[in-house]
Amino acid sequence: MLLLKSGWVVCPSSNLNEKLDILIDDQGKISALAPQLEVDGAEVFNAEGLTVVPGLIDLHTHLREPGGEAQETIKTGTRAAAAGGYTTVACMGNTNPKLDNPLVIRYLQQRIKEDALVNVFIYGCITKGQEGKELTEMASLLAEGVVGFSDDGRSVASNAVMRRAMLYGRQFDALFSLHCEDEEICKGGAANDGYAATVLGIPGMPAIGEELIVARDLLLAEETGVRVHIAHLSTAGSVRLVREAKKRGVRVTAEVCPHHICLTEDAIMGYNTMAKVNPPLRTQADIDSIIAGLQDGTIDAIATDHAPHTSIDKAKDFVHAPFGISGLETAFSLAYTALVKTNCLTLPALITKMSLNPAKILGLKNKGRIALGADGDLTLIDLNKETIINPDNFESKGKNSPFAGKSVVGFPVVTIVGGKIIMKYDSTLDQRQFYK
């Protein structure tokens, strides 16, 4: 048993915003919530001065296994997640081989059992080999435990194939997490089709390239009645399309990444490959629309799109360097600094976007909340601790971050999964300790 004493508990689902003790039993479930609990035989952790929230949940993580172990592994990726306060992540299927058949899913499930520090759920691919031609056996993948389907990294280019996928998935009320990019319009592009790309002579990726596929997928979802989740939304037009679709009753949710809130296309100036990401960094007008979408509920979640790469790959010239930012370890601090400290969102609203809503989207009924009987997955945060982001200190193999040197506030200091402390920050040594 684990007893957390005197923490300030914030839980949007239970409407908690007060000092409480929390007891997690030997089955990893929350069994008591009250001031000044005393329990014989329990391990006691003093949470005085810390804010206790439901464990953070990432809807969009690239763990790279199998096949990309030079970039990340289950072990290093979930250490990075724990360091960032995440107790649960959902990993994408653009691995090598792709997560498109039961045998690969079964193998990955075994690797997760062996090496993961946090809960890991899996997206299966929509199409075989992510080639956009032949559908995967979704029923078989669901039987192996996938939480949804995605060809993330690319869109399903064919309208007919995407429609057939939704009609197939409708039988199981399947979730589709959709990367929205018109590959013909965006082909060869490496940055937003705007001022920075023009000055640098870099091929552009226009906003309409995202918005066309967002519109298509929303219309197909409206026709078929399936659940769709728009991944890493980045443009004002996409926000508008999702807002309008929700008003029509389309079963759509959407996520945005911290880098699309904190950075504009100006971050690529000097051919900074650390800021090369897909979808690309956009304009301040897009950021303003995204923040408005977070405030009015159009955008349901903040996800990392954690995409680790080797330093060698990111050292290539801008056009040939890979897209992606290593994001698990900085997401909360960036979001808290950019949104809560500026009074754009309250802390409970931020936790809704980073824990409660992701749990709902993935159908994880016992996660994302602090309540009797819920899973004992918790994140303890020092909201006053200021840090300077240093990618060299990342637990992830991917040190690729455009935020090096940035000052942020709000720092996860303890991560608890199933009632077990798996990450604890030691302020004396100024380093994290991990436990499996």
Apex 434 CA angle, 431 and 436, nearest 5: 175
From residue 369, give the alpha-carbon distance in Å to each of 10, 72, 114, 375, 427. Answer: 9, 29, 27, 8, 28
Structure-block tokens of residue 131:
């080639």
Cα–Cα distance measured from residue 155 to residue 157, given in angstroms and rounded to the nearest whole number: 6
DSSP class per residue in 178-218? E----HHHHTT--EETTHHHHHHTPPEE-HHHHHHHHHHHH
DSSP state of 339: I
Number of helices (H) and strands (E), helices first, in the chain? 14, 19
CB-CB contact of 58 with 328 (8 Å): yes
Amino acid identity at 215: A
Q: Is 193 known to be catalytic?
A: no
> Residue 403: which of 281, 303, 236 has the closest Cα?
281
- In terms of Cβ atoms closer than 10 Å to its own Cβ (0-12, 13-18, 19+), residue 418 is middle
- Catalytic-labelled residue, pool 21, 286, 305, 377: 305
Cα–Cα distance measured from residue 243 to residue 370, given in angstroms and rounded to the nearest whole number: 29
Residues marked active site are found at 305
